Structure 1
Amino acid sequence: MSFEGMLRTVEELDTLEGYKAELIRGKIIVSPWLELRCMRPTLSLREQLTEHIAAEQVATHAPFLFSFPSVGRAYGPDLYVVDRSAFLTEGRHGDGEALSLVAEFTSTSTRDVDWQEKLQVYGQLVPVYLVVDMQAEEITCFSDPSPHGYRAHRTVSFGTPLPVPAPFSCEIDTTAFLPAG
């Protein structure tokens, strides 16, 4: 089946509430949206990023797919910054080229995909990729994409500020990422 055919199938799936379907490695993969424990760090990250985005962008965790046709992939990022123009088109998926930042929050079922598959694809196009590793309690900022993947990265433990380079040029306070306790 062609990429467009697979993408149509993903879009037409009637997934259970709380689940998303993505195209990963040429297969349709259904996985749960974020766990409840991820919501506090997700909201904190979105609020902090909103202060540093351009007027024509939005930081959101709305459940939309973004396609990467050149590699036959379509992902539903946990949180992302995207040009508002991406929402002016018909259909149910946006263009991956409209993304300027993606954040994925790992779970035991998605961790490998976030660290490998998505790192490779985003690393060719998306200016900033944040992997919020909920199991290791660390956040990694990848930046400077190239045809061979990201050329820069930095990892900090939750509770430590994380510098995020241009086009955001800010520092993320990660204290809200720490487990409640």
Structure 2
Amino acid sequence: MSVEEFEELERHAPETVRLEFVNGKVVVKPMGDGNHREMIAWLQRVCMQHRPDLWLHAESGLKTERYRKGRARAAGVLVRVGGLKGHGEWAEAEGTLMAVEITSYDSDSNQRDRVDKPEGYAAAGIPVYLLIDRDDCTVTVFTNPEDDRYRQQVNKPFGASIRIPEPVNITLDTEPLKEFAD
């Protein structure tokens, strides 16, 4: 399937279905539950408090992978305020400072959030990938994208502080995530 065919399919999908085009295959991404939405809201508040020049957009479409042949709907996309102005449903990755994913309780979450998306985000040159993993109650910060993968990663349990380096430059106190781990 071509990217154009995927985008046409996605335009006609019902509102209750979110589609992605990852590693050449169409993926149905489950809708986030209440705890997923609360985690994104928490992260939006933290980003706004520490970096008012940035905004975390929830459920944003990104052109990813090598040569932008992928289409990922990130749980969150951190850009400068106004950074998505003029972009369509699938924004170019340039200008994206951080992509965020929160694991879902479905069978494809491991492959999608821990393997495919980090590769796609790194290939697109997104400087930081933040994975909030509800399965093992950890937060992982992936940085230094090179050759379609992130060269560094730091993993901390919920409750610990974790530094998100430049260009984001925020330290997260992840204690509040414990409340939404169920």
Q: 1:79-90, aligned counterparts within 5 Å?
A: 79-83=76-80, 84-89=82-87
Match of 2:157 in 1: 157
- On the 8 A contact 1:67/1:95 being kept in 2, the answer is yes
Matching of residue 67 in structure 1 with residue 66 in structure 2? no
More strand by share: 2
Unaligned regions of 5+ residues in structure 1, if any?
Answer: none
Unaligned regions of 5+ residues in structure 2, if any?
Answer: none
TM-score normalised by L of structure 2: 0.86
Distance in 2 between residues matched to 1:149 and 1:111, nearest whole Å: 17
Deviation at residue 157 of structure 1 after TM alignment:
0.3
Deviations 1:147-166 (A, max 9, x none): 24111110000000111100
- On the 8 A contact 2:99/2:128 being kept in 1, the answer is yes
Distance in 1 between residues matched to 2:14 and 2:51, nearest whole Å: 33
- On the 8 A contact 2:30/2:104 being kept in 1, the answer is no
RMSD over aligned CA atoms reads 2.1
Q: 1:47-66, aligned counterparts within 5 Å?
A: 47-53=45-51, 55=53, 57-61=54-58, 63-66=59-62
Give 1:38's match in structure 2, choosing from 36, 39, 44. 36
Matching of residue 105 in structure 1 with residue 91 in structure 2? no
TM-score normalised by L of structure 1: 0.86
Percentage identity across aligned positions? Answer: 20
- On the 8 A contact 1:52/1:168 being kept in 2, the answer is no
- On the 8 A contact 1:15/1:21 being kept in 2, the answer is no
Distance in 2 between residues matched to 1:179 and 1:143, nearest whole Å: 27
